[in-house]
Copies of this chain bind each other. A is one copy, B any other.
Amino acid sequence: MSGQRRRPATRVLRSTLASLSRLDPDGLVPLYHRIKEDLTLQIRSGAWRPGQEIPSEVELCRHYGVSRGTLRQAIAELVQQGLISRHQGRGSFVSQPKLEGSVLGSYRQYRKEGAPFDVYAQVLRCERRPMPGEVRRILGTAEDEEVYEVERIRFVQGTPVSLQTSFIAARLCPGLETRDLSGAHLYDVLQREYGTVFLRAEEFVEPALADEYVAEQLQIAVSSPLFLVERHSHTFDDRVGEFRRAHVRGDLYRYRIDLR
C-alpha cells in the first residue's frame, strides 16, 4: 500500500505534537514562533528522525488551527536553520545533518568536479575506557561513565590528510570496537548501528605544528603547519556526545569564509 509510507508521520503528529493553547495560552509570543518551537522539539526529541517526512502544511494548519501563511512562516525559519527541507510536489522532511561534509570549506587540490572521492580511514585504536577528566568536562556526563576512544587516519585518494581522535560516550555506541570504522564518516556508523544522530557541532580551529608522531602518521615533515580542529558534536537532547580533536594537513586544505 502506498499510504503506509506517508501515514506514519501523521500518527506521530497526533500523538506528540502539543496543542497551541497548551504551549503558551496566549502570552506575547507570536503564533508562528510557538509553532516553530514545537516542531523543533519534535526533531530534537527524536520523535521525528532525519529523513522522515513530516505532516503536510494543510495537516499542520488543521492541527494548530492557524492559517497557511502563519504555518509557512514557522516552517520557513526551520528551513533556514537547516532543520527541515521542502520539495515542491513531494513534501517536507527532517534534514539529514551532514557534519562531516562541511569540515573544511574547500580543498586546495583533490578537487575534481563530479568525481567521487576515494575516501577511507585507517583505524589505529578503538578502545573502551574510563573518561579522562578533560573529556568529562566537555561531555558533561556522570563521573563513572565510560567512553570509546577512536583514533583514525583519514585518507583521500591514498593520501593521509588528517589524524583524528574521537571520544564518544559509551552509552551511545556499546560494542563499537566490533564495528567496521574504516568508512569515510564515523557518523554514518553511529547512525546506522545505533540510531545515534548528531544534529549540530561547534568547531574550534587554530594553527599548530606537526610533532614527531603526527608528522609520521600524516607522512609530512616535523613542524609542518597544521590545522588543529576541536569539535563538540551534539545529539538530539543537545548534550555533547562526541569530543573530537583532529590534526589536518595545512598544505592540502584551507578554510573559505564568506563575510558580509
Contact = CB atoms under 8 A, between A and B. Distances in A.
Interface of A: 69, 80-83, 97, 99, 102-103, 106, 199-209, 223, 225-227, 231, 250, 253-260
Contacts of A204: 106, 254-257
28 contacts: A82-B260, A97-B260, A99-B260, A102-B259, A103-B259, A106-B204, A200-B260, A202-B256, A202-B257, A202-B258, A202-B259, A203-B256, A205-B205, A205-B256, A206-B253, A206-B254, A206-B255, A207-B208, A207-B226, A207-B227, A208-B225, A208-B250, A209-B209, A209-B223, A209-B225, A223-B223, A231-B259, A255-B257
Given A225-B206, A250-B208, A201 B259 contact: yes
A208 to B, nearest CB: 5
A108 to B, nearest CB: 8
A225 B247 CA distance: 13
B250 A207 contact: yes
A259 B203 contact: yes
Q: Which of A83, A223, A255, A260 has the most CB of B within 10 A?
A: A260
A226 B227 CA distance: 10
A200 B69 CA distance: 33
B207 A259 contact: no
A200 B199 CA distance: 29
A200 B257 CA distance: 11
A139 to B, nearest CB: 18
A205 B258 contact: no
Contacts of A200: 258-260
A-B interface, 4 closest residue pairs, ranked by CB to CB distance from nearest? A207-B207, A207-B225, A207-B250, A205-B255
A203 B257 contact: yes
A255 B255 CA distance: 10
B205 A260 contact: no
Contacts of A227: 206-207
A86 to B, nearest CB: 15
Nearest to A255: B205
A82 B259 CA distance: 10
Contacts of A226: 207
A253 B205 CA distance: 9
